[in-house]
Amino acid sequence: MPTEQDILDQATKLGELLAEHESVKKLESATKAFEADPASRQAMTDYQQFAQTLQQKAQQGSPIEVEDKRKLESLQQAVITNPLLANMQRAEMDYVDLLRKVDGAIIGAGGGVAQPAGAGPTLAG
């Protein structure tokens, strides 16, 4: 019967394998490119801040003006059309997909052992 340390050792090996996988390398590269580009970072920051402002307005029951909706749409377009952000988003989706597959393989190898109610998220969760 494997010990807890045996399992942790195998998890470390899995982490090392993941670090060498193409999707992880692409995510690292895309993230570095995004972080190195001030215009991309600013586009994301502007969108997130304005979206948060509108969310607070809505929670307070304040009306969201047409002008606000137009500004949000404009900021959203800047994010959507930014090639570095699009590349990073694709890389993130590939990475999450890999983690879901790993999670599924772990669950499958566990013989279908059910998680107790409220046990929390799995690896990809």
Does pTM top 0.75 for this prediction? no
* pLDDT tens column, 7-63: 999 999 999 999 999 999 999 999 999 999 999 999 999 999 999 999 999 999 999
Question: 3-state class of 9 per DSSP?
Answer: helix
Work out the pLDDT band at 112, boundaries 50, 70, 90.
low
pLDDT of residue 78: 93
Assigned domain for 85 exists: yes
Assigned domain for 93 exists: yes
Assigned domain for 46 exists: yes
Assigned domain for 29 exists: yes
Assigned domain for 55 exists: yes
Assigned domain for 27 exists: yes
Domain that holds residue 85: 20-104
Kindly report the number of other CB atoms within 10 A of residue 84's CB atom. 19
Assigned domain for 2 exists: no
Assigned domain for 89 exists: yes
Report the number of distinct structural domains present in the chain.
Answer: 1
